[in-house]
Structure 1
Amino acid sequence: MESGDQHVSTRVLTVPNVISLLRLALVPVFAVLVVQGHDLWALGVLAFSGVTDWLDGVLARRLDQVSKLGQVLDPAADRLFILVTLVTLAWRDVVPLWLLGLIVARDVLLLVLLPLLTRHGYGPLPVNFVGKAATFALLYAFPLLLIAEAPGVLGDVSQVLGWAFAWWGVGLYWYSGVLYVVQTRQLLVGEVRR
């Protein structure tokens, strides 16, 4: 199977998959650090996670190690990091519960699509550019909102920038969700017409 010009393998043990698994293992570490108030360490883990998110994609393409498992692991790690970050930040009253609800509702919408796709022989839909941009914006928003807890100018500037990224991220996150619904509909309607 090809993804653009890139071969998609069924290999499990690849460098990018190991990096994605490392990122998944960092999720509970990050959560504990935020809950215990170790914000600088939590920010470090979040920054490292962002670098590994970029790195696994680059290595997958350069080493010709794009895999089916990696195509599932990478977005799963992103979504889990977003969810855990939101839950811990809501728990600390850094972000309101409605923001958590907006993000979770979009992911529930996509989860509802999976059984439909599977029943018709399709796997998870490939991540689209809008979805990647949304994830990027949200993963920038959360550390900034955490830094916004600091007093003074740093906190004030971080709050403005954090909320700007959060609003863009939520808007793009939902827009990408609508694109996935449209894509699912097109696949299923196209199948009925055949």
Structure 2
Amino acid sequence: MTGEAVASNDVVSARVLTVPNAISFVRLLLVPVFAVLIARGQDGWAVGVLAVSGASDWLDGVLARKLGQVSRLGQLLDPAADRLFIIVTLVALAWRDVVPWWLLAVLVLRDVVLAVMLVVLARGGYAPLPVHLAGKAGTFALLYAFPLLLLAQWDSWVGTVAGVVGWAFALWGVALYWFSAVVYLAQARHLLRDTAEPA
């Protein structure tokens, strides 16, 4: 369960064995499954795996709140599964010429920028920032874009429609991803500036 979906009044526990954590772990296991399916050209099954991954990303957050199972491990595991799935999927789709390499580069650059920011914050004694809603929305958009872009390879009206909708989701996902990055950088700058100012 990622911090993006954690309300301020949720109790965060140290539990490991929870239903949401199990779902996130399964999503991690699906990453190599998807990679193998793409490499073998089994696009139908690959689309199914992507669809399951996108649905499970929404489901684990809902269950964590409904069941009162928000955990520290889940706050780390869920976004880690999201990032890994997005990167591996983009590499696979770019390798198949389904998406251009610049799309992968733009998203990786964003994660690199935020990784540097986290290091700077940690050196200043700050924990990772609360995740912005735009970051989660961007992740959702990308996870829904990927199966549609894969379906766009079909030579039919389904492929045409999937391509249009898939690219709409992909571009919105990129925009939201970078918008959230700007928000994080502004928050980090504010914290570090307050620390530098004399009391």
Q: TM-score, length-normalised on structure 2?
A: 0.92
Does the alignment pair 1:96 with 2:64? no
Provide the residue aligned with 1:112 in structure 2: 116
Aligned partner (choices 148, 165, 168) of residue 169 of structure 2: 165
Higher mean displacement: 152-161 or 119-128: 119-128
Aligned partner (choices 127, 140, 143) of residue 144 of structure 2: 140
Within a 5 Å distance, the mapping from 1:81-92 to structure 2 comes to 81-92=85-96
Provide the residue aligned with 2:133 in structure 1: 129
Distance 2:76 2:196 in 1: 27
- The runs of 5 or more residues in structure 2 that have no matched partner are 1-5
What amino acid sits opposite 2:133 in the alignment? Answer: F
Alignment coverage as a number of residue pairs:
193
Aligned partner (choices 143, 149, 165) of residue 153 of structure 2: 149
Does the alignment pair 1:58 with 2:35? no
- Cα deviation digits, residues 152-177 of structure 1 (max 9, x gap): 21111111111111111111111111
Does the alignment pair 1:176 with 2:180? yes
RMSD: 1.4
Provide the residue aligned with 1:26 in structure 2: 30
- The runs of 5 or more residues in structure 1 that have no matched partner are none
Distance 2:87 2:177 in 1: 13
Which runs of 4 or more aligned residues in structure 1 lie more than 4 Å from their structure 2 counterparts after TM superposition? none
What amino acid sits opposite 2:145 in the alignment? Answer: A
- Cα deviation digits, residues 76-132 of structure 1 (max 9, x gap): 111111111100000000001111100110011111112112222322222211011
- Cα deviation digits, residues 35-55 of structure 1 (max 9, x gap): 211111111111111121111
Give how far 1:3 is off. 5.1
What amino acid sits opposite 2:123 in the alignment? Answer: R
Distance 2:111 2:14 in 1: 26
Provide the residue aligned with 2:3 in structure 1: none
On the 8 A contact 1:75/1:127 being kept in 2, the answer is no
Give how far 1:190 is off. 2.4
On the 8 A contact 2:54/2:144 being kept in 1, the answer is no
Which has the higher relative contact order, 1 or 2, with Cα contacts under 8 A spaced 6 or more apart? 2
